[in-house]
Amino acid sequence: MTADNIDRRIALSVSSVEKGLRLDVFLSGEKTGCSRSRLQQLIRQGYVTVDGSPRRASYALKGSETVLVFIPEPVESTANPEEIPLDILFEDKHLLVVNKPAGMIVHPACGNYSGTLVNALLFHCKDLSGIGGVLRPGIVHRLDKDTSGLLVVAKDDQTHLALSQQLQKRTLFRFYQAFVWGVVEESDGTIEAPVGRSPSDRKKMAVTWQRCRTAITHFTVMERFDFISQVSLKLETGRTHQIRVHLSHIGHPVLGDPQYGGRNKRLKSLSPRFRPLAESILGVISGQALHAARLGLVHPQTGKYLEFSVEMPRDMQKLKEMLTTQL
């Protein structure tokens, strides 16, 4: 294989040993600087040809062909830049690490087109390249609206691809802290249960064996109180709502979780002695008591290992103070 990159046109020669590979698989292994999903998009749009003819992503290469990839200039994002304060721990021309507050949505979506992390990043970042063909920050992994903590954001396609590969290879480390209902008996453990869309409620995720994906969460108990435990968690995989679903699955949902927490049921099950304190605690926290506290990654350009940590937000600190002083 040889490559010649001129004005966003990339010419690739297929070798005999690459015969039989799918077109998208062949391209994902090349130095295009594009993610596999971006390449599949380009193929669907007719921007990839094999010996001059557009082909499907599943096309099996015959060997000795020439694959031409045309990468159009990125278009402007439909999200609007907004001057929203950001707590940035690290930034260079390739990526930045931000501490997201609880209550902030990451991506604009139906009903939430402003006030998001993407809106804030579009205002802050003046050196963005096209991520996925759109001029916007490259969110490598997400946090739920009511989860606070650390996120890494890529500024260009190559960095986005490299960080995404670290996620897939499980070499990008994410550690969380949470307060959960009940006293967790084990000192530590691993929750390995597949996560997919809930069969009974399409707005929720669940532990299910239907249309699911492998999900693994490691936990360690940091401190136990009479009806609440503080735990630290390490994600091995990163499924939607994974931590919240897994903790609910083992009977210890995250405190304040509006979807998986079972607030009213939990309050009713408490001894009358603890119920007033529990109600006070729930009134203190602004979202679910879940915080992305540590993040570790290898910088795709320098090869240097970077690790960041942030304290729990003030409401979670207040929660622990109440538990410590009143129990």
Just list the catalytic residues.
144
- H-type alpha helices, 139-190: 157-169
DSSP-based three-state secondary structure for 268? helix
CA distance 239 to 214: 8
Tell me the β-bridge partners of 308: 295
Tokens of 294: 């540590």
CA distance 289 to 148: 9
- H-type alpha helices, the chain: 23-28, 36-44, 117-124, 157-169, 242-249, 263-269, 275-284, 314-326
DSSP-based three-state secondary structure for 229? strand
